[in-house]
Amino acid sequence: MNFAELAALAGGHAEARAIQTALKLGIFELLGDQPRDAYALARSLGADTRATALLANAMAALGLLAIDQGSYCLTETSRRFLLRTSAEYLGGMILFDEAIFPYWAKLEDAIRTGRPARSPDMFQSDPEDTERFIRAMDSLTRARGDAVWVSEHLDLGGIDSIADLGGGPGTYLAAILRRWPSMRGAVWDLPATLKVARRILEEREPDLASRIELVEADYAKESLPGPVGALFMSNILHSEDESDNAALITKCFRALEPGGLIVIKDHVMNRDLTEPRAGALFSLYLLLMTRGRDYSFDEICGWLAAAGFVDINLKTLPSPPYTSSLVIAHKQ
């Protein structure tokens, strides 16, 4: 690694905060219909012209805006990922990162104490927090294309029912049900999350309503509903500690029909917990927000085997753009 690469890593917060601020102010939406110069842009934002020009210039330097005869306009990237009307809108995730940015200032305290900087409530305590978090998960999944890839590469032949445990907005479940039209599905999640999920599914997937059931389930406190033919879990294990994950996998085993399938999607780490790099860095975020971290394939295998699962396999999603893997196992 040379100086420039290290300096870029150490100063990466500047780019992140600039993009978050531009999105939060609404710069990309304002430029969605027509170019504007700094004065017109600032006037529409109710902001200072000089400062607005500095932010817009930064966006142009990052390739998110272009400048044509003194006016700013969108690039292909910003039109694809930063407009709310785009099917690949990433803004939900960016605005979530903006909202939690202050917690990163508490990373040193979290390292010293081992305790999260925020109460690990899965963003259930405040409706605004819940909405932002669940729409962020939906935004990231759709923009990167995870749900479509999973639905196209996961063999669910012969299975007539599937539950997405902690399924949030139902993004994965909807993609799976579209791929397997005879299957019925359910999102098992917390009450506040299901309220948001219902709105998202009504907005985007009204034709799947008759095939999706929203079921209140708190896997930390209760046994799981069931039985079902398959259980899907995306980014659930990384929110919990080792003992809770072992107990959760046992609950999953009991909730499956004989011969049922469990599919775990997460950052599945190597034995040293250093690869994929995104997972190692994300574990610091998890330290700030949860009781969890990203776990290795060996650790996940241990929980599955102890619960009684067999035929445990790892399927790594192609990188780039993905950073996750699938761990697939069967109940005898």
d(CA 106, CA 95): 19
Q: Where are the alpha helices (DSSP H) in 145-241?
A: 146-153, 171-179, 191-204
Q: What is the mean pLDDT of each run of 10 residues along the chain (332 residues)?
A: 94 96 98 96 97 98 97 98 97 97 96 95 93 96 96 95 97 97 97 97 93 96 95 97 98 97 98 97 97 97 98 96 97 92
Q: Say what the pLDDT of residue 226 is.
A: 86
Over the stretch 45-85, which tens digit does the pLDDT of each residue have? 999 999 999 999 999 999 999 999 999 999 999 999 999 99
Distant-in-sequence, close-in-space partners of 243: CB < 8 Å, separation ≥ 6: none
Partners of 67 in beta bridges: 72
What is the phi/psi pair of residue 67, to 5°?
Answer: -120, 125
Unique residue bearing structure tokens 């790892």: 314
Cα 265 to the center of its chain, rounded Å: 11
Task: Give the CA angle between residues 266, 321, 229 to the nearest 5°.
Answer: 40
8-state DSSP, 160: -
Domain range list for the chain? 3-86, 107-331
d(CA 170, CA 239): 18
Q: Say what the pLDDT of residue 248 is.
A: 98
3-86 folds as Arc Repressor Mutant, subunit A (1.10.10)
d(CA 212, CA 220): 23
CATH number of 107-331: 3.40.50.150
